Homo-oligomer: A and B are copies of this chain.
């Protein structure tokens, strides 16, 4: 028996759009169950609307102010609490248009918010803009992800994929597809790395040819911190692009570009811009000056050209468009993002994100879509060789061994270095595009030069930090996961990389802090690591990949997409540095289309699978930490219920009238209750759930009918960004029978 314990608390985030609506249906069910294990489930609203209101509490009425707590700050504090147990649903990373729409909606609901000032001139405007800025973009993850990353395929999901495999395109041994990357002049070949002996404020400096020194940035580094610098040669990059285009033309394969402009926010858009300028060389040669006047930015893709030339006279627009089309004549065919709409690979930098596009290509027989809507063999161009090589290794593997078989393959979970903003390459504030020739260097406060590179105009130089406690925790997490899952773990560290040499020293040191007896732990370069993981995988064996931050990002799409057909079904856990845990759900985004369908025909297609899975590990962890056997059993039962739900195909349909999110929740509840009622480990808990299981089972038909009857007509949520929670409750819980049964528990 479990004594109710005030410490046993799960925090469940209320977010935006579909996930938030789904919570309206799921949470009452969850609470009914967890209460039996003495666990409270509290909510924390981190929606865009909530975060806006928190920024302007001073302008709200007393009643409105109750909604205006800064929950993100609270959650940030919570992550430092060893008892933190947080379930994080997908939320909106707001763009400016989304922010403005949210403001308008809140204003219409009677909140006295200022408009968003596009240009801030007065002090007041600047203040307003800075308050809104905190809500923009990916504002939540950096606050909450206070730990490294543990991602894996839940057993129920893996079992489902084995039984009902997703489609995998057949691979021809004669496929011409391949990955291509720079062999010299890229970040890999220029990387330098040092570990700080002691804390210091280091300067990033540019020294021009006359010896003038410009301090680009000063960074406080900690003792033990690893600091890297590297650059990509603009000339080498252009030469590389030209070679790839020539080769595609000769070999008759399609050309495609794969970058990660969203993650390498600063460096990769520049790389993308080079590709645009090389592919459309004649256009930029001829209209370069005009484009500059118009404000065309090739880093934003050809969309920027088409957008900016709209202001020109029709005849001139047509002339430029003809020049663009002329390029296609002598260039190889380019892979399309949308062949129907004519959107090419070079249209927008965010369209072809390597970690999504490469697995899609590999799953699709190594082919991408051509202009004629047909799939074709492709050269996948990924200039930065550091990580690109793993895709070539997988392509060669598929040519040799055929497509992966989801019914027999093992799994490759990931332990990723992420804590304390580790290895954020090419992001943010430490990436610089050179505007003249000279020297970039990293200098200690006493003037000692730690690293330096000779650079040329146009080169992309960047630095990157990795803090010691993050590495130490990552090593610990790898050992823990290897032990807990009885699975070999490979640290992906390449001795030819300066950074990895530094990390290897730390890994070898920190491994000594742990009992690794009987564990199969090894350190390998990326090619060897992915190769052996794949060799094991096709023999049904599992291998943990222990990787840096970028590979974490890439691999947690690559392997799941092969194994499960999607990365959205992965468990994504952030064991916090201080001992708590965050359980992230569903990588599928917040899905605006889902909400529209609810508003129009009251059908919610959102699949809460991610929430089921996250909740199970959250409960399991709660059970382990508090020695709460009921919680552990509850977790086990939930996993079994999820497995049964998948097997019985009780996931939401996309079509109105069929089972939707709410019906899916009903089945989860029924299976969950049935398992708990039937299990023999804990008779008291079984006894408690027998009536619920019975009631749900007996009323299955009735409840499903009530849920189905609710569909087919518009639903009023009282708002998009800031809905009326009472209305949400009413829409998301339309079955009186189900509600009554839950209330009776």
Residues of A near any B CB (own CB < 8 A): 172-178, 180, 247-248, 250-253, 377, 379, 392, 396, 399-400, 527-528, 531-532, 535
Contacts and interface: CB of A to CB of B under 8 A. Distances in A.
Contact of A392 (B176, B251, B400): B400
A377 B178 contact: no
A177 B535 CA distance: 22
B251 A172 contact: yes
Nearest to A181: B400
Contact of A172 (B172, B247, B396, B531): B247
Contacts of A172: 247, 250-251
A392 B399 CA distance: 10
Nearest to A251: B174
Nearest to A378: B174
Contact of A400 (B175, B396, B528): B396
Contact of A399 (B178, B252, B377, B532): B178
Number of copies: 2
A543 to B, nearest CB: 15
A532 B527 CA distance: 10
Contacts of A532: 528
A177 B251 CA distance: 13
B379 A174 contact: yes
B396 A174 contact: no
A180 B176 contact: no
A178 B247 contact: no
Contacts of A252: 174
Please name the 8 residue pairs, one residue from A and one from B, whose CB atoms are nearest each other, closest first: A174-B251, A174-B176, A396-B396, A173-B178, A174-B253, A392-B400, A172-B251, A176-B176
Contacts of A392: 400
14 contacts: A172-B247, A172-B250, A173-B180, A173-B247, A173-B379, A174-B178, A174-B247, A174-B251, A174-B252, A174-B253, A176-B176, A392-B400, A528-B528, A528-B532
A183 to B, nearest CB: 8
Contacts of A527: 535
A181 to B, nearest CB: 10
Contacts of A178: 173-174, 399-400
A359 B151 CA distance: 44
Contacts of A247: 172-174
A522 B258 CA distance: 38
Nearest to A173: B178
Nearest to A175: B176
A640 B174 CA distance: 47
A114 B399 CA distance: 60
Nearest to A389: B400
Given A172-B250, A174-B248, 14 more contacts: A172-B251, A173-B180, A173-B251, A174-B176, A174-B252, A175-B176, A176-B176, A178-B399, A178-B400, A392-B400, A396-B400, A528-B528, A528-B531, A531-B531
Contacts of A175: 176
Q: Counting chain B CB atoms within 10 Å of each CB, which of A173, A177, A392, A396 scores highest? A: A173
Contacts of A180: 173
Contacts of A531: 528, 531
A173 B246 CA distance: 12
A400 B180 CA distance: 8
A376 to B, nearest CB: 11
A379 B175 CA distance: 12
Nearest to A400: B392
A177 B399 CA distance: 11
